[in-house]
Every structure is written in C-alpha cells, then in structure tokens.
Chains A and B, each alone.
Chain A
Amino acid sequence: MISGIVLYSIALVLIGVSFIKDRKRTFQALKKAFMVFKNLLPEILTIMLFIGLSLAILTPEKISVIIGEQSGVLSVIGATVIGSLALIPSFIVFPLGATLLENGAGYPQVAALVSSLMAIGVISYPLEKKMFGTTFALTRNIGALVFSIIFTIIIWVVM
C-alpha cells in the first residue's frame, strides 16, 4: 500500500514535469502506457483470478501437507509442479518454506518450490508470449526449469 502511494506520487510528479516541458510528448507517453495496459488486461485479469482460485483451493497448509507427507524425489517433483503453476507472493513463499522445514520437509523440496515459484511462470506464460514471442517465453521458462532442477540438486548435496 505504502509503496503504491510512493510509486503513484513519483509518477504524478514526473507527469507534471513532463507536462510543463512538452504537452504533446506527455500525452503520447500516457497514451502508450494506457494502450499497453489495455492490451495486457485480459492476461492480467486471468492471472489475478487464477491467484485467487488457486490460493483459495490450495492453501499454504494444504501445500505443506502435500510436500511434507511424501519424501524423496517424488515430493521434489510435486514441489516443482506446484511452484511452476502457482503464483504466490514472495512474502508468503519464504515463511511457507520455513514452515515446510519445521514440518519435516527437506531442504531439496523447499529449494524446488521456492526456485520454481519465482522463476517459472506457467500462468503468466500467455502474457510473456504476447510480449516477447513464443521462442523467448518458451526458452526462458524451460531454462528456468533447468535452473530450478540444478539448484535443487546442489542444495540436496550441500545441505
């Protein structure tokens, strides 16, 4: 909320400065911002509703049960799948990771969940594809999956 107020204030000040310097350019800039917003709205609304539905069904407690109950490679795969599909804000992810550790999950499972959650975006994929094209979006997400797997293996060995 506070960061939002700060961001909006900075945006308003910048619009003001830009307006004093050049009206036409300012309108151009605002029009561009609005058009991009409008063009991305279907994907963004889909992401929002998906977050709402998935977090209502798959609560952090349930994730904890799913990942905590199984052991070994299977739960690492489960954690990666949940992480790739879900869009959970970071301020929930890390406490969730800590809770998982307390409830008996291992570091590899937490590593798989945290890294895939932050780097892979299956739900934001349509948005990414629309903006950067299929090759870019697909390769980046597959790359992110490879990263998540390597990271999990390293954590498995080290911790």
Chain B
Amino acid sequence: MQILKRYRWFLLLVMIFLIILGFQKSIAFDAIKITGDSLLSMLMLLPPILIFVGLLDTWISQETIMKYLGDESRFLSVILIFLLGSIAAGPLYVAFPIALLLLEKGVRTQLVVFFLGVWVVAKLPIILYETVALGLVFTVIHISLGLVFFYYLGFYIEKKVKKLPENLSIE
C-alpha cells in the first residue's frame, strides 16, 4: 500500500500512456523512446552527483563549509555559490540534492535559493546556446535580471521558511 501511494503519480501516467497506446500507437512509441532517452541522460547525471553529495557530506565538515559559505565571509560566499551554480550542467532536479546538502550543512536559505537561481539562468554551457539562438541583448537581460531577482527572492524565502522536511537519507 505504501509503495502504491508513493508511485501514484507514476501509475497515473502509466495509465494515460496505456490509453494513448490504444488509440495512437505512433505517439505511444515516441513517448517510450523519449522516456528512455531521458532516463538514460538522468542515469548519466544523477547517480554520480549523488555520490559527490554523499562523499562531500561525510568528508567535509560543517565548519569547513561555513568558513567559506557562512555569513562571516559574505562576499566570498556569494561568489562561490555563483561559481558552483554556473559551472554545473543539467536539469533543475540535479541541482536539488546539491542545494539540500548546502542547507543541511548550515548554509543560509538565501544563498541556496540564489544557487538554484544561478542554475536556472546562468549555466555557462547554456549561455552560449542562448546567445547564438536568441541574441546577446536577450541573453544579457535574462541573466542579469535573473541573478538580481533570485538573490533577493532568497531573502524573502529565508524569512518564510521555518525548518527543513525530514531527512531523505534515512529509511
């Protein structure tokens, strides 16, 4: 029952898929192919990222993290978070485990929101794509507005959030 509840949305989509398979075979086959491709690229990214996160969690102490990402070194912490967010590649769900690790290590919520914001607007490989496809002016406005916006959104969310949900790494 527990398993059924955890997978309810997935099962709903499987049902939709089966209905489509009954009516529109070619769309259903496309869906299988695209799902397979995204599963593959997820498996190329997420497990190693989770291993990095796990190793960082056990090897790097809270004190070390806070030395660089704490409030005492405000300027440095913003720069480091920016670099961390912009060198990375991959969809947003890959950034979530990293963001969660930062929160668990005591990094303030404002910086974590900023990290997700950088990930969303200013990933380096993406910037090149964007400039080529949509032009420099478009890209510069997108990135600079995004950085400022998510920097300040972080303060707002930090004020509203009380505590983290239960630990995900326990059974």
Q: Which residues of A contact B (CB under 8 A)?
A: 1, 3-4, 7-8, 10-11, 14-15, 18, 25-26, 28-37, 39-40, 42-53, 55-57, 87, 89-91, 94-95, 97-98, 101, 107, 110-111, 114-115, 118-119, 121, 124, 126-128, 130-133, 135-136, 139-140, 143-144, 146-147, 150-151, 154-155, 158-159
Does the CB pair B142–A115 fall under 8 Å?
yes
**B38 and A51 within 8 A (CB):** yes
Q: How far is the CA of A114 from the CA of B130 in the complex (A)?
A: 10
Partner of A56, one of B28, B113, B150: B28
Do B138 and A131 touch across chains, with their CB atoms under 8 A apart? no
- The verdict on B22 contacting chain A, using a C-beta distance below 8 Å, is no
Residue B1 CB within 8 A of the other chain: no
Partner of A14, one of B52, B57, B163, B170: B52
Tally of B interface residues using CB under 8 Å: 81
A-B contact count (CB 8 A): 234
Q: Which residues of B contact A7 (CB under 8 A)?
A: 44-45, 48-49
* Chain B residues near A (Cβ < 8 Å): 6-7, 9-10, 13-14, 16-17, 20, 27-28, 30-36, 38-39, 41-55, 57-59, 89, 91-93, 96-97, 99-100, 103, 109, 113, 116-117, 120-121, 123, 126, 129-130, 132-134, 137-138, 141-142, 145-146, 149-150, 153, 156-157, 160-165, 168-171
Shortest CB distance A74–B (Å): 22
The complex places the Cα of A22 from the Cα of B55 at a distance, in Å, of: 11
* Contact A55 to B134, CB < 8 A, known contacts A3-B89, A29-B59, A130-B168: no
Q: Is the interface of B mostly helix, strand, loop or mixed?
A: helix
Cα A37 to Cα B169 in complex, Å, equals 9
Residue contact B51 to A14, C-beta cutoff 8 Å: yes
Supply 16 A–B pairs (Cβ within 8 Å), ascending by A. A4-B41, A7-B48, A8-B48, A29-B58, A36-B168, A37-B50, A42-B7, A42-B10, A48-B38, A91-B129, A95-B133, A111-B142, A119-B121, A131-B99, A132-B165, A136-B161
